[in-house]
Amino acid sequence: MINSDANRINRRSFLRSTALASGAVGVATLTGGSLQVALGASSINKNIFVYIFMRGGPDWLSFITPMNGHPSRGDYEALRSNGTQVPNNRLLALADGWGVNDFGASLQGLFQDGDLAIVHAAGLPFSNRSHFEAERFVELGTPGNRFTTTGWMARHIQTAINLPGSVPVLGMAAESSITLSLLGEVSALSLGNPAAFELEGGNDIREDELQIALEQIYAQGESDIEVSGSQALEAVEIVQQVLDPPYTPANGALYPDSDLGDELLIIARLIKGNTGVRVAQADRGGWDTHNGQGVLSAGGFGGRVQDIGDSIAAFLSDLDVPTGEGDNWKDRVVLMCMGEFGRRAFDNNDAGTDHGYAGNILVAGGDAVNGGQFYGSFPGLADSDLFQGADVMMTTDYRTVFSEMLIRHLANPELGSVLPGFTDYNPLGYINGADITPNFDPADTISRIGFEA
Amino acid sequence: MNGISRRNFMAGSASAAGMASLAATRTQAQVATEFPESLFPGRNVNRGDTGALPPFAVRVLNKAAFGPARGDVEAFDNLPGGSDFGRLQNWVEQQLNPTAADPEVDARVAQAGSEYATIFASDVVLWTQFVRSDEGSVRSRPFSELDRITYLRGAYSQWQFREVISDFWNNHFHVYSRSDNETRGFMPSYQRALRGDAAGSRLFGNFFELLFNSTRNAAMLYFLDNYRNSWPNPNENYAREVLELHTLGALENYYGAVDPSTVPDNAFGERSGYTEIDVFQFARALTGWGVADGDDGAPDTGAFLFRPNRHYDEHGEEPIQVLDVTINTDQGENDVIQILQYLAEHFGTARFIAGKLCRRLVSDNPPESLVQSTAMEFYNRRGDPDQLREVYRHILLSPEFQNTWAEKSFRPLESMLRTWRAAAIEFIPTVNRPGTTNRNNIASGINDRLEDAGQRPWNIEFPTGYPDFKAFWRATGTLVSSWRLVTYLLSRRDDNSGNMADGFALNLAQQTNDLLPDPNDRTPVQIGNTLALTALGFTPDAGTMVIIIQFIAEQAGVFINQPLDNGAGIDTSNLGNSNYQRIIRAAMALIILLPVGQRR
């Protein structure tokens, strides 16, 4: 009987070895000795970046909020009179008079442990209140350029010279589709529901034989549909080998029963499964709260705050185990959460908030993150402090945050390619890592990565 | 980078350049391997992604229909006209004038009894009996039925272009069906608002009518937060999305937070785009729009309701200015209607919609000449009652439509429907099996798998609708899930008692034998050729055919010209879940999943 997935993988391996190979195909094997990572070259960077995109634009003032005694608390209360105010007794103290919405107790814990840093008032270099455009400007890494064809994380992969030349999953999105940040990186894996990440039908459709035939055929062609198909079929093998065995998160880590929890769990397993993940993205939507925001509701904004906090806490806890190379997975990771913009400083008549400008960026991790403190400056909430009298003003260009992570964590100095047009490398200090001289030169950028500088 | 190579790049995927650069920027010394085998070698992507060029009829049916069903290619080739173009003109003329009657669909709807009742239920019934129900399963029933009738229509409608273009407008005016109870239970009404009547006339009418009707349906009003928009703090969401997604387009015509007087005029003397001020002003105009939802003493019917006491001008505020439209005096809901009329007739809207239509029907990067001429057709016919019909005709009869191939590939929903049609599956997808209270599990299975593949109808939470560029859908996750759905469909079978599970009928072995009645003809060569021709509508190139034929031969253990009955354990008269049946199913899946079966 061939019923378990492990057996099916073995069966396919057997079938492959006996197939009348009209074109032999290289197939992933993660078994036995091949799992031993041959990392000789010291130039290889092993650090990992995990990007959580909070699609929709979170109301950061309901997430990280001035508490009583903070100079902006009075303005905050005046601006939030239509049902979106977080009362002082529902805030958990962080530092500098700021508190986190009490649904974010996990985040307070991370902050106190030094595993969470928070950047104030980050945003695009100029305001854009369209989801569509602001997402592109952030994730493509080219604010103002509407037609960039590659994402900033894709360009990192494409320009970093310290990445291993061949690993199964260098970049991934824990989504069924590829994200904008990874757009244009052909090797990036997109993986939403692992249970659906295979063909179906079993012996009724000779599934194993069909899959092998497709592997062989797709491996021969060089059109983009054939390259995509070939990689998809190879990814099926890898994902099954890593994700099929039963798994218990380390250290009793409890992932929330949510999309984000599921996604971070998959990312953690692929990281710990030595598939070579260096950059990964997960999305957490639901932040576009124009009405009935529910800042104190488990079914609304509050629940999403909790989901973010509990998911990150579980992820870091699960990774808090040795890599087998003398360090700890958690210490290789920097995890960053941000949306395309913050929301309007004042609420609307529907107990909601409209699109705004700047917002926080959350950064979590082990040794790589100088946590337990805020970075950047908060511009204030007085009428004259607000952008157009309406939104939290931007004080830190989001590319300042990206560039520090790129240089100090991923050790990729190619800022001119990853963040073209950004020439102001001015680290905030939230990453624990060494500086290297940035290369702001976008020379040859067009031919390499496909945008007009 | 010179113009030519730039164009070549833009015509292709960014990924090609990405891989090339990867190879170019790493030296051997810098490459360490974590694994012994190279899994994602930087193969050069050959831009000639065409394979052999299929016959004209197949190209048309893959691009303007959900692929050919049995007999469609022959029917196309038998049209009068005397040439490919003449036959195309005749086909387009038929498809642009659909009638309410759609026999293949109507018969199955009738056979389903009450399973599609909510599709035809009145708005007030949907609202009072479904939206307002205390039971979640009742509230969800209407959108569940809508998913299923969408599959039924896509698979069987003779008005294939209507269904293709209906899907286009459903995405253009997208409502996330699970956004609110008011969307779940009301989706059939929203679908009617876009289609107009049983013939789908609104899809072929004037764009303003589509836009206008989308703005006043409760599903849209709830999804984009305009159901209780009120002065003095208007909700900007809907105003922004109408400008950004439904009319002018953000990429093309959004100027951001600038003074509107600094926005230049376009060639037609119109202010060429919108600013943050226009968004806010439009949001002001939209205050008071909402739904008769029982609030404020209103009836609870789900009908559109304008509430003057929530409208800005009840409060003595300044005139409204949106682009070139100035509204000085209180005109109630006509404020918005004037703005919508202006936006529908704006050249920026013509250009935005033309670009999207060309992307859907021709190419991810449609030729500028076609987009511009289509935009002019849209603009020049802005006052015509059949504006959209003329715009579609312009695209479908263009040389660009006729001469492009493989610029697109089937997205998951399209792949599912093309499989359904290619394999001649007989199935009525319903919530329950017709005449029973048992769930129709195959219909649910299709839904779940389409959701995994990322293209279940009305199921993306963002108001953009589903993306329409192939690089997005070729991501590993969507691709594998999309293929999974094909293998799921083709491997459904009866329960060995003769009853087809959930009324799903697909006997590919029987189909093959009907075409090859003499067992001596049932050789890998003949079976391969027959299946490919019936599924794809043409015989692929020799290289592809060799692959298909060899696969069948290997599975059956025979030579390519040997009857399958000579193989071990193969009995081609056994039409149950036999080895023969399984080989035929696998061969059909292979044909559909090969690159040649994926292109459009």
Rg (CA), chain B: 26
- Report ipTM (2 d.p.): 0.86
The chain-wide mean pLDDT, for chain B, equals 88
pLDDT of B475 reads 82
**Alpha helices (H) along B200-267:** 207-215, 218-223, 237-241, 250-253
Dihedral (Cα; B534, B538, B542, B548), 10-degree rounding: -20
Best mutation target among B315, B480, B560 (most A Cβ atoms within 10 Å) is B480
pLDDT of A15 reads 66
Tell me which residue has tokens 């980078």. B1
Going by the DSSP 8-state scheme, the letter that residue A405 receives in this structure is I
**CA angle, corner B143, sides to B138 and B148, nearest 5?**
115
Q: How far is CA B201 from the centre of its chain?
A: 18
Task: With H, G, I as helix, E, B as strand and everything else as coil, classify residue B250.
Answer: helix
Q: What is the mean pLDDT of residues A11-34?
A: 44
Contact present, B528 and B537 (Cβ < 8 Å): no
Contact present, A332 and A46 (Cβ < 8 Å): yes
Q: Tell me the residues of chain B between 401 and 440 that have a Cβ less than 8 Å away from chain A.
A: 409
Tell me how far apart the alpha carbons of residues B35 and B53 are, in angstroms, rounded to a whole number: 40
Q: Establish, for the pair of chains A and B, how many residue pairs have beta carbons separated by less than 8 Å.
A: 340
Closest CA to A328 of A319, A318, A337, A336: A319
Q: Which residue has the higher pLDDT, B232 or B511?
A: B511
Tell me how far apart the alpha carbons of residues A44 and B32 are, in angstroms, rounded to a whole number: 7
Does B200 have pLDDT greater than 80? yes
> pLDDT by residue (tens digit) across A244-296?
899 999 999 999 999 999 999 999 999 999 999 999 999 999 999 999 999 99
pLDDT-derived band at B139 (thresholds 50, 70, 90) equals: very high
Does A9 have pLDDT greater than 70? no
Q: Which residue has the higher pLDDT, B26 or B479?
A: B479
Closest CA to B26 of A251, A167, A282, A146: A167
Closest CA to B535 of B555, B511, B551: B511
pLDDT of A202 reads 93
Residue contact A204–B582, C-beta within 8 A: yes
Does residue B52 belong to the interface with chain A, where contact is any CB pair within 8 Å? Answer: no
> pLDDT by residue (tens digit) across A153-169?
999 998 999 998 667 78
Does A52 have pLDDT greater than 70? yes
Return the percentage of chain A with pLDDT > 90, whole number: 71
Best mutation target among A158, A216, A344 (most B Cβ atoms within 10 Å) is A158
Going by the DSSP 8-state scheme, the letter that residue B271 receives in this structure is B
Does B7 have pLDDT greater than 60? no
Residue contact B228–A206, C-beta within 8 A: no
Task: With H, G, I as helix, E, B as strand and everything else as coil, classify residue A63.
Answer: coil
pLDDT of B493 reads 77
Least confident of A86-100, A292-306, B15-29, B147-161: B15-29
Does residue A14 belong to the interface with chain B, where contact is any CB pair within 8 Å? Answer: no
Contact present, A64 and A94 (Cβ < 8 Å): yes
pLDDT of B546 reads 93
pLDDT of B20 reads 29
Best mutation target among B19, B38, B40 (most A Cβ atoms within 10 Å) is B40
pLDDT of A162 reads 92
Tell me how far apart the alpha carbons of residues A315 and B579 are, in angstroms, rounded to a whole number: 47
> pLDDT by residue (tens digit) across B32-73?
222 222 223 333 333 334 456 899 999 999 999 999 999 999
Tell me how far apart the alpha carbons of residues B591 and A217 are, in angstroms, rounded to a whole number: 11
> pLDDT by residue (tens digit) across B552-565?
999 999 999 999 99
Tell me which residue has tokens 């312009």. B394
**CA angle, corner A123, sides to A122 and A129, nearest 5?**
140
Q: How far is CA A176 from the centre of its chain?
A: 14
pLDDT of A380 reads 98
- Report the gap between the CA of B21 and the closest CA in chain A (Å): 5
Best mutation target among B476, B482, B541 (most A Cβ atoms within 10 Å) is B476
Tell me how far apart the alpha carbons of residues B184 and A123 are, in angstroms, rounded to a whole number: 35
Contact present, A82 and A351 (Cβ < 8 Å): yes
pLDDT of A74 reads 98
pLDDT of A16 reads 62
Q: What is the pTM of this model?
A: 0.84
pLDDT-derived band at A3 (thresholds 50, 70, 90) equals: very low
pLDDT of A23 reads 36
Task: With H, G, I as helix, E, B as strand and everything else as coil, classify residue B162.
Answer: helix
Does A449 have pLDDT greater than 70? no
Tell me how far apart the alpha carbons of residues A252 and B308 are, in angstroms, rounded to a whole number: 58
For B474, the closest of A27, A39, A228 (CB atoms) is A228
**CA angle, corner A430, sides to A427 and A435, nearest 5?**
45
Contact present, B339 and B325 (Cβ < 8 Å): yes
Closest CA to B189 of B142, B223, B150: B142
Does residue B380 belong to the interface with chain A, where contact is any CB pair within 8 Å? Answer: no
* Residues of A with Cβ-Cβ distance to B287 under 8 angstroms: none
pLDDT of A132 reads 81
> pLDDT by residue (tens digit) across A104-117?
999 999 999 999 99
> pLDDT by residue (tens digit) across B102-116?
999 999 999 999 999
Tell me how far apart the alpha carbons of residues A223 and B13 are, in angstroms, rounded to a whole number: 11
Q: What is the mean pLDDT of residues B329-352?
A: 94
- Report the gap between the CA of A52 and the closest CA in chain B (Å): 17
Does residue A437 belong to the interface with chain B, where contact is any CB pair within 8 Å? Answer: no
Task: With H, G, I as helix, E, B as strand and everything else as coil, classify residue B281.
Answer: helix
Return the percentage of chain B with pLDDT > 90, whole number: 74
| Residue type for position B214 | S
Q: Which residues, at least 6 apart from A377, have a Cβ–Cβ distance to it below 8 Å?
A: A120, A121, A395, A396
> pLDDT by residue (tens digit) across A341-357?
999 999 999 999 999 99
pLDDT-derived band at B331 (thresholds 50, 70, 90) equals: confident
| Residue type for position A206 | R
Q: How far is CA B12 from the centre of its chain?
A: 22
Q: How far is CA B411 from the centre of its chain?
A: 8
Buried b (16+ CB within 10 A) or exposed e, B360-369: bbbbbebeee
Does B482 have pLDDT greater than 80? yes
Tell me how far apart the alpha carbons of residues A220 and A23 are, in angstroms, rounded to a whole number: 7
Beta strands in A144-231, from DSSP E residues, in sequence order: 171-173, 189-190
Does A24 have pLDDT greater than 60? no
pLDDT-derived band at A53 (thresholds 50, 70, 90) equals: very high
> pLDDT by residue (tens digit) across B406-465?
889 999 999 999 999 999 999 999 999 888 888 899 999 999 999 989 899 999 888 999
Contact present, B593 and B480 (Cβ < 8 Å): no
pLDDT-derived band at A240 (thresholds 50, 70, 90) equals: confident
**CA angle, corner A304, sides to B176 and B473, nearest 5?**
45
Q: What is the mean pLDDT of residues A78-91?
A: 97
Closest CA to A185 of B595, B6, B471: B471
Tell me how far apart the alpha carbons of residues B233 and B326 are, in angstroms, rounded to a whole number: 21
* Residues of B with Cβ-Cβ distance to A129 under 8 angstroms: 236, 240, 256-257, 276, 279
Does A27 have pLDDT greater than 60? no
pLDDT-derived band at A25 (thresholds 50, 70, 90) equals: very low
Least confident of A4-18, A415-429, B143-157, B424-438: A4-18
